[in-house]
Structures are given as structure tokens and as C-alpha cells.
Amino acid sequence: MKIEHLGIAVKSLAGSDNLFARLLGKENYKQESVEREGVTTSFYEIGESKIELLEATNPESPIAKFLDKKGEGIHHIAFGVENIFSEIERLKKEGFIFISEDPKEGADNKLVVFLHPRSTNGVLVELCQEKP
């Protein structure tokens, strides 16, 4: 398991892309819409990990609700795993609660699943696996 990326909720992807490009000294490598989640993402590589900026594309999306409640900032931490299905089973046995136990297609060619923050000290945790 490794830290795959940190997800950061932003109000404006254009403004935040400008900020992070200046901060990191390089442009994003990918921008992608995930319509099912109502979000557009922008990715930056940082060594072996990434930063994912998330902008809501509709007011009912989870990111829009997060921004309304908490404002811009870190939304989640994602751990890259080799086998998402075995990790789900392992973590269920350890007592962790999932938002959904069924992995779904996420951005950046990944299968993803989220653990509920009430079982992870208030932090939204994502498990992600490269799609075969």
C-alpha cells in the first residue's frame, strides 16, 4: 500500500491549476471529468504520489456539498492497493465501515472505493487500484 494521491476540493479548477502549476513548477498531466460523481479532476505528479484537484460540476455532487460545508481543502487521502477486493475484505474484518463496498470506476484509470470517515478518525479514505 502506498499513498497514491491527496484529493483537494477546489472552487475553481482554472484558478487552482494556475496556483498548483506555479507552486510545483510544472503543469498538470491530466484533466478528466467523472460525470457520475459530478466532478472534474486535475492531476499533478509529485514523486511517486499525486495531487488530485476536484471541482464540482453540479450543486448536488459530493464535492459541491463538501465545499458548502467545509470550504476548499483536503477532501481525501487515497491509498494505492494491488487488489482492491482483498483489501475491502481485510478492512471489513478489521471493523472499518465503507460508504459502498462495491468498487466503481474513478478518475485516472482506477477502480475506487471509499471508507466512511467515522471509522477513520474523520478522514475520508479512498482505496484505488489501477484498472486491468
Taken in order 108, 110, 116, 120, the sign of the CA dihedral is: negative
- Cα–Cα nearest to 51, from 6, 15, 11: 6
Helices (H), 31-75: 62-70
What is the CA 81 to chain-centroid distance, rounded?
14
Residue 28 has phi, psi (to 5 degrees) of -65, 155
Please state the pTM of the whole predicted model: 0.91
Question: Per-residue pLDDT tens for 19-76?
Answer: 999 999 999 999 999 999 999 999 999 999 999 999 999 999 999 999 999 999 999 9
Distance CA 36, CA 47 (A): 29
